Structure 1
Amino acid sequence: MGDYEPMAAHVNSREDLLRRIRDALVELPDDERVVPVPRANARQTAGPERGELAELVDLFAARLAGHGAQLRRTTGSAIPDQVAAALREHGARSAIAPDGLPGEWLAWWAAEEGHRIVPDSPLATSSELEQVDAVVTTCAAAAADPGILVLDGGEGQSRRPATLAPDCHVCVVRVQQIQPSLPEVMDRLDPRRQTILVGGPSADADAVTPGVHGPRRLIVLVVE
């Protein structure tokens, strides 16, 4: 028989822990197998009040400004106009649209002559994506105190760090997605998803890698 890779090599630490817990439960008497397990959403408390949200947005704006990024307040109906304005200010002629990004957000800008939307193709290389002027995304959450955006590969976010390589990143954040701190954000995310943390503008043009990093220009549109 040819060489093979043991199945255990594909089992990560979390899966191994769950397997050991499951094996231990099998050996318990029937009346001891019911173990209360808190669900992720059970840890979540009621969301901040309107006044607290306003304070969080102000703090988030201050932290982003300290990183050299910008925060602009907007409404849902004004997102296409705000996205177009941000891309025009950067002089962007091309922009990446990750899978799941609402098409109308880029429609007005793309209708202008010389502008093109670049699909987030899995076949595109990092060097090809770096030639694109901008990227427009949503996010999974945002942490106000450190001024960090968290992307986890959901709709409108892309699962590939290379997609965030363009110099300009326009990110749309719902005000309800903003939490005070990074631990509070991470507590609400699916631990099975890979997360990418995006901070303020970076001094270099390296491709984005998992961790705190930023494009040369970061514009955050907070939808209130």
Structure 2
Amino acid sequence: MKSLLHIISSSFTAGLCIGIAGLAYLKNPDIIGAVLFGFGLLTVVHYKLKLYTGTAGFFTNKKEFFALLPILLGNILGCAAAAASFRYCMEVTSLSAGIVEKRLSTDILGCIILGIGCGFIMTTAVQFARENKFLPLLFGVPVFIMCGFYHSIADAFYYATWLSMENIARAPDVFVKWAVTVFGNFIGCNLYRILLSKWLTSEDKDKTAKDKLAIDANDSTYKKAS
């Protein structure tokens, strides 16, 4: 129970960070906003917060795999809280309308493909950041945004700023497009291991395992609650 609460708390905070980064992009929907969005992922990596797109490519057992569900839930709640707060004190609905309409006009296969592109970049960026190499992260975030790739957690924030009683009838379509983006992100996050697992040497696998142990040394998420 303690472990689950930690996951929810950490992932909720990560959702707040992505919400703040998403607002920066809504206010500056260009290369400047794309660079500013990097604040969200930098914060997540520095504080070792649980972000779906930052963890989906690094699970090593069933327990960590199933932990992705509460991580996703916490991220959504954090984004929703950020969106509700921003909607209370400023006009953001009109700012996110263009992004949402683009998502809804993309077919399911397109959402999956664009989600894969984002997931691939996110795993790359986080892997380098975990090794204290932050340039790939600083470049990776603007790259996925300028390429038009879909980030499911950022999209959760955009949808939350846009949905209202006036367009609630479109909620089912929103959910479908968001859900397939989550799936696409998952595939993209694991593209390295899907494509390269057969070519990894035992030394590579040992190094990956040791790196993960070192990274998780200060993270109690998957430890048994005392």
Query: Shorter-chain TM-score: which interval?
Result: under 0.3
- The two structures have a TM-score, normalised by structure 1, of 0.24
Which one scores higher on RCO, CA 8 angstroms, separation ≥ 6? 2
In our comparison, the structure showing a higher alpha carbon Rg is 1
Higher helix share: 2
What TM-score does the superposition give when structure 2 sets the normalisation length?
Answer: 0.24
Q: Which has the higher strand share?
A: 1
